[in-house]
Chains A and B, each alone.
Chain A
Amino acid sequence: MTKTNENEVNSDFTMNFGPAHPGSGNFAIKVEMRGERVLKATADPGYLHRGFEKLMEYREPMQNSVMSDRVCVLEPLQWNLVHAEAVDYLMGYEIPERAKYIRVILAELSRIQSHFIWYAVLSLGTGFMTGFNISIGYRDYILDVLNLITGGRVYPAGYICPGGVRKDFPENAENKILELLPKIDYMRKFALKENPAWLARFKDVGVLTKEEAIKFGATGPVLRGSGVAADVRRDDPYEIYDELEFNIPVLDKGDAYSRFKVGMLEIEESMKIITQAIDRLPKGEVRTPNLKPIVKFQKAEGEIYIRNELSRGEGAFYMVATGQKTPYRVKIRGPSFTHMIPIVEHLLTDVDYADVPAIYWSLYQCPADVDR
């Protein structure tokens, strides 16, 4: 795992953080060390490269819809939504109002459960096992509801599909979601408690300034933690987000704690969105009427760049259609791609090794959407 570095004058040895480290995910960082100090870090992605962009060129949109779950394990419903919106635009589908509301409710539930995992891995990375256990436990309440609605706990298997959603809410689903909210609120307050040990690990660590954040292409909580009030849901609204009232939490310190806190404050906003959407949930169809299971993609021609606000930041699909059954080209932009390669390399320069997990996880990474 470690080796002495004879060529490099400055560093004593290089070491791997990951890919088998329990706190790194399927991702590695090669760190050059001098004593306890990290001098330089090099990201080493590729452990989860499945080539989705190429695979999608060989498959029809409904098959791709199932595959789009797998782009990121931790927020599959939101990836479903980005893919579905790209096909909807190219096919010119009008989405029924009810389906739009269901899409938003599920995307926000998915965001909350993903933020819970974030809190869990931050705790795991800094040795706070209670935080990990309690957070994963509360996440499970949300997974139960997702299971009830989509049929899959983690992977919805293309529940949000081109044309709307696959099935309507089962009976009593709205109440089940509303019953979740107090539990989510309890967990959110628990995570936001100013625990001195937590503050000592995350305050003033890994500072990313506003200018750097924009230059390196940061998005989502990482960007908002550095003082830029940008959110795709507000700036480039999709589905029904422009009709809903919610705030965008912004903190301007740019350190690991600000990033984390922005994420936890977002949970409250997501809860507001869910309450409003369930209040106004209209009745009616959930998929474009008369739409057969197969999408006739031969009719589609053109291209589109669809952006969505995922839990981690800006996720996008660039899709080109040329009148074939399958898309001609698909490009997926994962939010972690910029966070985990240029930004992590920038932040892990001249820091203590003990801060590496705190900085690494505060960037809210998902190796799956780096590699795709």
Chain B
Amino acid sequence: MSEKSKHDKNQTIEEKLIEDLKSKLGTTVNYQKERRLWMTIDPDLIVETCTKAYELGFEHLSTISVTDWLKEGKHEVTYHLWSYTHNHLLTIKTKIDRKSPKISSINSIWGGNAETCERECHELFGVKFEGNPNLTPLFLEDWDGPPPFLKDFNWREFVKKEMYDQNNPREKVYFEVKK
């Protein structure tokens, strides 16, 4: 098969997959680049959509991440799913309120893997995953400050205030204003 016809064949497979996903998931599926698809959904539909995606062959939960959109007042929770049958990555994005961030857990589908990813997001961003029985911190011991990965948490200021002493000659350099 020549390079061009191979490319065309891949493209038709891709278009077919997008159509299939659109009809079965009931939302627009966008094409980003080769083997990268993404979609935006309502947070209430997360368990339902993930279950459907899993049944459609997106069986590997690569990771869950949170982006803090401070100006918008929203947290964006992103689920990256890979399919071993279609060889495509589907990114499911959903926005939740920043003030009371909560979303349903998807541990009914991916069990321990989803729970661990959610534990990380809970610890670093304070997102509450309802239905996850174990949201104990993974990394930070005895931390009672705000979730450290939030955009409005300035760790440089925090460290200066909590860890350094202005009167200590060795540490006062951290308090000098840069010109």
Chain A interface residues toward B at CB < 8 A: 45-46, 49, 51, 53-54, 89, 214-217, 219, 228, 230, 235-236, 304-305, 307, 314, 316, 318, 320, 328-329, 331, 333, 337-338, 341-343, 345-346, 371
Contacts and interface: CB of A to CB of B under 8 A. Distances in A.
B140 A305 contact: no
Contact of B62 (A45, A46, A51, A307): A307
Nearest to A234: B87
B164 interface: no
Contacts of A89: 33
A214 B36 CA distance: 20
Given A51-B148, A316-B80, A318-B78, A216 B89 contact: no
B62 A342 contact: no
What's the dominant secondary structure at chain B's contact region? Answer: mixed
B131 interface: no
Contact of A318 (B80, B84, B149): B80
A304 B138 CA distance: 26
Contacts of A346: 112
A318 B80 CA distance: 10
Contacts of A235: 84, 87
Nearest to A337: B116
B148 A54 contact: yes
A272 B138 CA distance: 40
Contact of A331 (B60, B61, B65, B82): B65
A352 to B, nearest CB: 22
Given A341-B112, A346-B112, 17 more contacts: A45-B139, A49-B139, A54-B149, A214-B60, A216-B111, A216-B112, A216-B113, A217-B113, A304-B32, A305-B80, A307-B82, A307-B89, A316-B62, A316-B63, A331-B63, A341-B138, A342-B111
Given A305-B36, A305-B91, A228 B113 contact: no
Interface in B95-151: 110-113, 115-117, 137-141, 148-149
18 contacts: A46-B139, A46-B141, A49-B139, A49-B140, A54-B148, A214-B59, A216-B112, A217-B110, A219-B60, A228-B84, A230-B84, A305-B36, A318-B80, A320-B67, A328-B67, A331-B63, A333-B80, A337-B117
A156 to B, nearest CB: 25
A317 B138 CA distance: 20
A218 to B, nearest CB: 9
B174 to A, nearest CB: 15
B116 A329 contact: no
Q: Which 7 A-B pairs have the closest CB atoms?
A: A342-B112, A331-B65, A49-B139, A46-B139, A217-B113, A333-B63, A329-B67
B161 interface: no
Most buried by A among B33, B80, B139: B139
Contacts of A215: 59, 110-111, 113
A343 B85 CA distance: 23
Interface of B: 32-33, 35-36, 59-63, 65, 67-68, 78, 80, 82, 84, 87, 89, 91, 110-113, 115-117, 137-141, 148-149, 155
Contacts of A320: 67
A318 B65 contact: yes
Nearest to A217: B113
A231 to B, nearest CB: 11
Contacts of A305: 36, 62, 80, 89, 91
Contacts of A341: 112, 116, 138
B60 A217 contact: yes
A329 B68 contact: yes
A287 B146 CA distance: 42
A202 B139 CA distance: 31
Most buried by A among B36, B82, B87, B91: B82
Contact of A53 (B59, B116, B117, B149): B149
B116 A342 contact: yes
Nearest to B113: A217
A366 B115 CA distance: 20
A328 B76 CA distance: 13
B123 to A, nearest CB: 10
B1 to A, nearest CB: 14
A169 B155 CA distance: 40
A274 to B, nearest CB: 25
Most buried by B among A216, A217, A346: A217
B138 A45 contact: yes
Nearest to A345: B112
B147 to A, nearest CB: 11
Given A51-B148, A318-B78, A320-B67, A342 B84 contact: no
Contacts of A333: 62-63, 80
Contacts of A345: 112
A45 B119 CA distance: 12
A328 B62 CA distance: 21
